[in-house]
């Protein structure tokens, strides 16, 4: 009897076991939130927009390690900059113009995926934020404006570097219609300017310098990007009509806001404006920066500005290296007799003097703007923000755009004079001004280009200028400061490689082409 009872009992347990609750297999994430539960409260809107500050293009200024940052690849492409540590392939393949859809395919793929990932985040923000209950109209607009700013920033990089790229403005929620085609660069530019103009006019953004707005996007940042975008559109390959006047218009919005000014030089070269840029994060000159922090986000640049073989003792970086070495062909754009920027320890340096000992770079130059002594000798953690747009660039955009659209006006001359006279620290401003006045538009513009080359190498404008002007700056070994512009196509760079037209864009990665047969690389030979 007992046996029977137990037998029945076990069978019951067995059956119960088999038919236990059906929720057993339900998957409920706890360390992540499912999308259905998200985009419900205002905090969700802020979080997704916050992400954009450190995704996509801004990260190109602070990543890459041995091969330098993706922004430096622009410099290597020009052939005018070198990465002394040729361990990774990017610099070499770019300098030798040997890149192709297969060579540097991982690199190119990563540029695409990083930008489109940020674009996708923006698309999500733009789609979901308007539906969030409890978000004030003004905050909603601001967040949407920031999302549009970042979408534009990423598309601008893509269109500048790859030409026709697919224009995606809605987030993907499934795998439907993922094999898109390339859209004309013009169309992409139109979306960029639409986004930025919306942000400028309807975003309700404040008009104060970046650092005063808690390092969030301002009206000035949007207008500056717009001016830059129109300047680029005005040139090759789009050559958009009326773009110069648009560029002038938006540059003027920044200039006339009265919020920005160039840092002035102090009494000694040690207190120059360039040394202030090197050591201060809060200046009215900075319009948009990538924030860094020794703990929360280290700036990697300090290790790029000490040549390994001339490393002073107690350098914290085990292997610093000269990752953004200007070639002599570039250094000669400066006239060392008048230009502060090419004096040692201004924008560049050619030796380090530390504790009374000189560590001479044997004729090489390295970036000095990134020379963060605390990071290099004490903490190993770079703390300076990386400036992506500055006021000097706005002035130079304005000078060029006004000259192109209105002629060499006193206004245009004054903007160029502002930038140049800061650098020619011992030259009288009026003398500089008078030399510029009376120049033809063509000559004046060339002066602007030279100033861009000299002033903006750390904003990585050398290559975009070559892309839009299709002119290559050629210096004179016997006359530093003299720069001539020659057709880039057919020009041979200092590495002995000759530019073909397709080199003005990066190749589309074979990986991208394989994934989407609708995308076609039609210029690079493979």
Partner 1 sequence: MNKLLQKDGNLPLFYQFFRKMKLTILIVTMSILSSLSAETYSQTTKLTIAENNSTLLNVLRAIEGQSEFKFFYNEKVDVTMPVSLEVNQKSITEILDKVLSSTFVKYKVIGRQIALYDKGEMEPFMSEQQGKKVTGKVTDSSGATLPGVSVVVKGSTIGIITNMDGAYSLSNVPENAILQFSFIGMGPQEITIGTLTQINVTMVESVIGLEQVVVIGYGTAKRSEITGSIGYLSSKDLKEQPHLNAMDNLRGKVAGVNIFSNSGTPAGNNMAIIRGVGTINSSWEPLYVVDGIQMTSIQYLNPTDIESAQVLKDASAAAIYGARGANGVILITTKRGGKKRGTNVEYTSQYSFGTVIPKKNSMYDPMNSKEFMEVQKISFDNAPYFKTYPAGQEPKLALNNDLLFDSNGNPRYDTNWKREVLRTAFSQSQQLNILSASENSSAGLFLNYATREGLFLNSYSNTANIRFAYDSKLFKWISIGTNIRITPITENDAEIMMGGARSIYQFPPIFPVKWPDGTWSNSSQTQGTNMSFEGLMNPVGRLLEEKRLINRTQLFGDFHVDVHFTPHLELKSQVGINKELYKFNYYLPKSISLGAAEGNASKTNSETTFWQNENYLTYNRDFGDHDVTFMVGASWQKQTYESSDFSVYGFSSDYMQDYNINAAVKYNHPTSDYYDWTMNSYFGRGSYTYKGKYSFTATSRIDGSSRFGKNNKFGFFPSGGISWLVSKENFMSNIKSINLLKLRTSYGISGNTEIGVYKSQATINSSTVLIGGALQPSSTIARIPNPDIKWERTAQFNIGMDINVFNNRISFEGDFYYKKTYDLLLDRPIPETTGFTSVFDNIGQVSNRGVDILITTRNIVAEKFNWTSTLNFNFNKNRIDKLGQNNEDIFPGPSWVDGSQTILRVGEPVGSFWGRILYGIWGTAEKEEAAKVGQLPGMKHWSKDSKITGKGYPDIMGSFINRINVGKFDLMMDLQFSLGADILQQFNVITEGRNALMNGIKNQLYNGWTPERQNTMVQMIRNVNLSGQEFHPDTYWVADGSYLRGNLLALGYTLDEGLLNKLHLNYVRVNVSVQNAFVICSPDLKGDDPESMGFYSKFGQNIFEQQYPKPRTYSLGLTVQF
Work out how close the CB of 402 gets to partner 1 at its nearest, in angstroms, rounded to a whole number. 34
CB of 421: closest distance to partner 1 in angstroms? Answer: 32
User: Please, how many CA atoms are within 13 Å of residue 282, restricted to the half-sphere of its CB?
Assistant: 5
Chosen residue from 123, 405, 417, 480 binding partner 1 by CB under 8 A: 123
Asked if 131 interacts with partner 1 (CB under 8 A), we say: no
Minimal distance, residue 216 CB to partner 1, in Å: 7
Instruction: Give the distance between the most distant pair of CA atoms in the chain.
Output: 118
Residue-by-residue DSSP string for 332-385:
TTS-TTT-GGGSTTSSEESEEEETTEEEE-TT--EE-TT--HHIIIIIS-B---
Tokens 């001004």 map to which residue?
433
The two structure tokens encoding residue 97: 């113009």
Site for partner 1 contains 116 (CB under 8 A): yes
∠ CA 97-101-106 to the nearest 5 degrees?
95
Restricting to residues 481-500, which ones interact with partner 1 according to CB under 8 A? 495-497
- Which residues is 486 bridged to in the sheet? 472
Measured from the CB of residue 440, what is the shortest distance to partner 1 in angstroms?
A: 38
237: cis peptide before it, omega within 30°? yes
Q: CA-CA distance, 129 to 49, in Å (whole number)?
A: 10
Q: Is 257 exposed, middle or buried (0-12, 13-18, 19+ CB in 10 A)?
A: middle
The DSSP bridge pattern shows strands 81-82 and 325-326 to be antiparallel
Quick one: which segment of 15-23, 190-198, 267-275, 433-441 binds partner 1 (CB under 8 A)? Answer: 15-23
| Binder of partner 1 out of 208, 262, 276, 316 (CB under 8 A) | 316
Return the number of the residue (48 or 504) whose C-beta is nearest partner 1.
Answer: 48
The answer to whether residue 137 forms part of the interface with partner 1 (CB under 8 A) is no
Min dist. Cβ of residue 234 to partner 1 (A)? 27
Continuous segment of H or E residues that includes residue 386: strand 386-390
Verify binding: residue 33, partner 1, rule CB under 8 A. Answer: yes
Smallest distance, partner 1 to C-beta of residue 452, A? 29
3 state SS of 481: strand
Applying CB under 8 A, does 380 fall inside the site for partner 1?
yes
- For position 120 contacting partner 1 by CB under 8 A, the verdict is yes
Does 477 bind partner 1 (CB under 8 A)? Our answer is no
Binding region for partner 1 (CB under 8 A) out of 72-80, 112-120, 186-194, 233-241: 112-120
DSSP state of 492: B
Q: Contact region for partner 1 (CB under 8 A) — 226-234, 240-248, 317-325, 388-396?
A: 317-325
According to CB under 8 A, which residues from 394 to 433 bind partner 1? none
Shortest distance (Å) from residue 426 CB to partner 1: 27
Residue 233 in tokens: 């559109």
Q: Which of 61, 76, 112, 460 binds partner 1 (CB under 8 A)?
A: 112
Binding of residue 14 to partner 1 (CB under 8 A):
yes
Q: Which of residues 169-228 bind partner 1 (CB under 8 A)?
A: 171-175, 178-180, 214-216
Of 50-58, 428-436, 478-486, 498-506, the segment contacting partner 1 by CB under 8 A is 50-58
**What is the rounded distance in angstroms from the CA atom of residue 341 to the CA atom of residue 426?**
12
Q: Which of 41, 43, 443, 520 binds partner 1 (CB under 8 A)?
A: 43
Q: Which tokens hold the place of 420?
A: 């140049």
Regarding 106 and contact with partner 1 (CB under 8 A), the answer is yes
Q: Does 516 bind partner 1 (CB under 8 A)?
A: yes
Q: Which of 48, 99, 231, 369 binds partner 1 (CB under 8 A)?
A: 48
Nearer to partner 1, 235 or 382 (CB): 382
Which residue number, 267 or 296, has a Cβ lying nearer to partner 1? 296
Cα–Cα distances (Å) from 374 to 303, 348, 387, in that order, read 12, 18, 19
For partner 1, give the closer residue by CB, 140 or 245: 140
Candidate residues 40, 186, 187, 311; the one interacting with partner 1 per rule CB under 8 A? 311
Q: Which of residues 150-169 bind partner 1 (CB under 8 A)?
A: 166, 168
Kindly identify the residues of this chain, within the stretch 349-368, that bind partner 1 according to CB under 8 A.
362-363
> Measured from the CB of residue 330, what is the shortest distance to partner 1 in angstroms?
16
Whether 206 and 213 have beta carbons less than 8 Å apart is answered as yes
Task: Provide the minimum distance between the beta carbon of 17 and partner 1 in the complex, in angstroms, as a whole number.
Answer: 5
Task: Give the nearer residue to partner 1 in terms of CB position, either 47 or 264.
Answer: 47
User: Residue 452: which of 232, 301, 158 has the closest Cα?
Assistant: 232
Which residues between 57 and 86 bind partner 1 (CB under 8 A)? 84-86
**Binds partner 1 (CB under 8 A): choice among 32, 137, 355, 478:** 32
Considering only residues 261 through 300, tell me which ones interact with partner 1, judged by CB under 8 A.
Answer: 291-293, 295-297
Q: Return d(Cα 341, Cα 427) in angstroms, integer.
A: 13
Measure the N-to-C terminal CA separation of the chain; round to a whole number of Å. Answer: 85
What 3-state DSSP class applies to 268? coil
Q: Are 406 and 248 in contact (CB under 8 A)?
A: yes
Distance CA 126, CA 52 (A): 12
Determine the 3-state secondary structure of 216 from DSSP: coil
Distance CA 289, CA 52 (A): 13
Say if CB 483 and CB 499 are below 8 A apart: no
Q: How far is the CB of 213 from partner 1 (least distance, A)?
A: 9
Q: Which is nearer to partner 1, 165 or 466 (CB)?
A: 165
């Amino acid at each position: 009897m007992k046996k029977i009872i137990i037998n029945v009992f076990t069978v019951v347990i067995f059956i119960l076991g088999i038919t236990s609750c059906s929720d057993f297999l339900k998957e409920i994430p706890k360390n992540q939130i499912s999308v259905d539960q998200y985009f419900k409260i205002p905090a969700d809107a802020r979080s997704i927009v916050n992400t954009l500050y450190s995704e996509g293009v801004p990260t190109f200024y602070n990543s890459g390690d041995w091969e330098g940052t993706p922004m430096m690849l622009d410099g290597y492409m020009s052939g005018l900059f070198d990465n002394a540590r040729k361990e990774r392939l990017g610099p070499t393949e770019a300098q030798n113009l040997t890149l192709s859809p297969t060579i540097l395919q991982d690199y190119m793929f990563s540029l695409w995926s990083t930008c489109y990932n940020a674009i996708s985040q923006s698309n999500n923000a733009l789609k979901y934020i308007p539906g969030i209950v409890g978000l004030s109209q003004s905050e909603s607009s601001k967040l949407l404006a920031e999302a549009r700013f970042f979408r534009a920033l990423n598309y601008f990089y893509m269109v500048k570097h790859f030409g026709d790229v697919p224009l995606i403005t809605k987030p993907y929620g499934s795998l439907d219609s993922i094999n898109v085609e390339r859209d004309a660069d013009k169309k992409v530019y139109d979306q960029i300017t639409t986004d930025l103009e919306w942000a400028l006019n309807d975003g309700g953004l404040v008009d104060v310098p970046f650092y005063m707005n808690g390092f969030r996007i301002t009206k000035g940042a949007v207008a500056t990007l717009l001016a830059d975008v129109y300047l680029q559109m005005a040139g090759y390959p789009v050559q958009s009509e009326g773009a110069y006047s648009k560029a002038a218009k938006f540059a003027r919005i920044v200039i006339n806001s009265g919020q920005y000014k160039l840092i002035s030089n102090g009494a000694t070269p040690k207190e120059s404006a360039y040394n202030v840029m090197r050591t201060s994060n809060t200046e009215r000159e900075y319009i948009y920066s990538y924030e860094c922090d020794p703990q929360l986000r280290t700036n990697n640049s300090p290790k790029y500005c000490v040549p390994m073989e001339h490393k002073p003792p107690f350098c914290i970086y085990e292997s610093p290296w000269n990752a953004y070495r200007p070639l002599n062909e570039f250094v000669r754009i400066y006239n060392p007799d008048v230009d502060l920027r090419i004096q040692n320890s201004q924008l560049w340096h050619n030796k380090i003097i530390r504790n009374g000992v000189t560590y001479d770079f044997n004729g090489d130059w390295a970036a000095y703007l990134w020379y963060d002594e605390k990071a290099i000798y004490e903490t190993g953690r770079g703390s300076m923000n990386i400036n992506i747009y500055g006021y000097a660039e706005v002035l130079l955009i304005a000078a060029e755009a006004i000259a192109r659209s209105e002629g060499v006006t006193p206004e245009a001359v004054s903007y160029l004079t502002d930038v140049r006279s800061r650098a020619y620290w011992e030259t009288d401003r009026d003398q500089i001004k008078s030399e510029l006045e009376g120049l033809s538009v063509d000559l004046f513009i060339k002066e602007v280009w030279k100033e861009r080359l000299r002033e903006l190498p750390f904003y990585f404008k050398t290559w975009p200028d070559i892309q839009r002007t299709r002119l290559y700056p050629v210096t004179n070994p016997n006359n530093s400061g003299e720069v001539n512009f020659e057709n880039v196509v057919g020009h041979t760079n200092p590495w002995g490689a000759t530019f073909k037209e397709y080199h003005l864009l990066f190749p589309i990665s074979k990986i991208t082409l394989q994934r989407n047969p609708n995308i076609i690389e039609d210029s690079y030979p493979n």
